[in-house]
Amino acid sequence: MDVTGKLIKILPETRGESQRGPWVRGGFVIETEDTYPRQIAFTLFGEDRLAMLNSLVMNAPVIVTFSPESREYQERWYTDLRCIRVVPLAGTAPSAGAAPVAPQAPAAAPAQPAAPFASQPADSDDDLPF
């Protein structure tokens, strides 16, 4: 799944030790630019995934590829959005040393606006639009 938005916050890293060795987890938050903007938090696991954040600029548009995952714990469900890839949106200037962005597929054409309501005859007593 992909979502486009503006990078608004980088979350602090958490480090730990497991039976398989050391691990690191971090994250970031984007805000979509829809009619009703939404803030979405993503998580990243591993040094290689956290390194993707180094090439991003705060408040710059990004494309996030992610995988949603839910799990149950004591009769409650928790959902995690695991980031697979985050890249600057094509056409924005990445910071120095950042890898070039692959060209993106063209966006779909915007939908045509709905036709306006038919007008009422002038002598109608009904004020309803239908």
pLDDT digits (tens, 9 = 90+) for 59-82: 999 999 999 999 999 999 999 999
Q: 25: exposed, middle or buried (C-beta count within 10 Å: 0-12, 13-18, 19+)?
A: middle
Amino acid letter, 43: T
What local confidence, expressed as pLDDT, does residue 89 receive? 84
CATH topology of domain 2-88: OB fold (Dihydrolipoamide Acetyltransferase, E2P) (2.40.50)
Helix then strand count (H, E) for the chain reads 1, 5
Write the pLDDT tens digit of every residue in 32-53: 998 999 999 999 998 889 988 8
Q: Which two tokens stand for residue 74?
A: 């004591």
| pTM for the whole structure | 0.65
More confident residue, 1 or 114: 1
In sequence order, the 6+-apart residues with CB closer than 8 A to the CB of 65 are: 1, 2, 83, 84, 85, 86
Tell me the pLDDT band of 101, cut-offs 50, 70 and 90: very low
Place of tokens 């040393």: 97
Tell me the pLDDT band of 90, cut-offs 50, 70 and 90: confident
